[in-house]
Structure 1
């Protein structure tokens, strides 16, 4: 197996303070881009069930380009084996996913700004319906401990000196929860 994406995610309490703290670290954030994600899950899986070991799909559209991703959580939802590729026809990819036994779950719309802190990628997201978040992530080999790397990422975030609330849910779960509460 190939790469493992490991991340930590935080609800941003003080967005302006976070942007300033990143600037103080000489981290330059990109201009915002809108990402529209359609999440997919196996037909037999539902929210509330464990995600570890279950493959989840996503079709992401950014500036007219489409990216298909499969993530399979390992240690937890934020440490996943990951494979992705560009797709020419998202409609055909959607149909292929249905044929493979996956079903669409939620649509996630976010405005994303990105930056780098050494080998770590930073994403400052404004997620429609759930608010601002910071993701810190890195890509490692499949045999590295996701929990150990998450501890390093969390320590770095704590040292920023701004109010952040760590969350362990993925965006699809957060969006689904927000939809359930508004219904």
Structure 2
């Protein structure tokens, strides 16, 4: 399985953060529409990401729901039929939630910086430091923390869980 170190933070001013990320970026910005459907999965999370252009990705991942840097283990497979796959997975497993967002992607070295506008939740940033095979998780944690400091993201801004969890909590 592939691994990365992740953090998620609530961001009150996405435009200001964009101005801090852009000079550090080695690639981007890339605008990406994402419609994520989550399915029941007893040993992790399973989501279908529909890009709205006729292709998508089925993503399985496992990670702790905690604030601060955490290691995520994941597998991704692509699909040319996201609507049909969503239908099959819904019949087989049942949907547990849906998240629609507009994402702007930047790369800062090997770190994916996601600036997200999430329907029903607001604005967020995610960092994903891609780890090499055999690389200790601590290396990714140090890199994520250094980038958080450079971007002015503090510990109080961090959130745990996935957007689908935050949406479920805000609905109750």
Answer whether TM exceeds 0.5 for this pair: yes
Write the deviation string for residues 155-178 of structure 1: whole angstroms up to 9, x where unpaired.
311222367711122111112112
What is the rounded CA distance, in whole Å, between the counterparts of 1:154 and 1:41 in structure 2? 32
Contact 2:27/2:108, CA 8 A, preserved across alignment: no
- The two structures, once aligned, show a CA RMSD in angstroms of 2.5
Residue 169 of structure 1, aligned match among 161, 164, 171 = 161
Which segments of 5 or more consecutive residues in structure 1 lack a partner in the other structure? 46-53
SS at 2:89 equivalent: helix
Contact 1:41/1:55, CA 8 A, preserved across alignment: no
What is the rounded CA distance, in whole Å, between the counterparts of 2:140 and 2:25 in structure 1? 22
Is the aligned partner of 1:67 residue 2:66?
A: no
TM-score, normalised relative to structure 1: 0.77
Higher helix share: 2
Contact 1:56/1:71, CA 8 A, preserved across alignment: yes
Distance 1:80-1:160 versus aligned 2 partners, 3 A rule: closer
Contact 2:55/2:82, CA 8 A, preserved across alignment: no
Contact 1:112/1:123, CA 8 A, preserved across alignment: yes
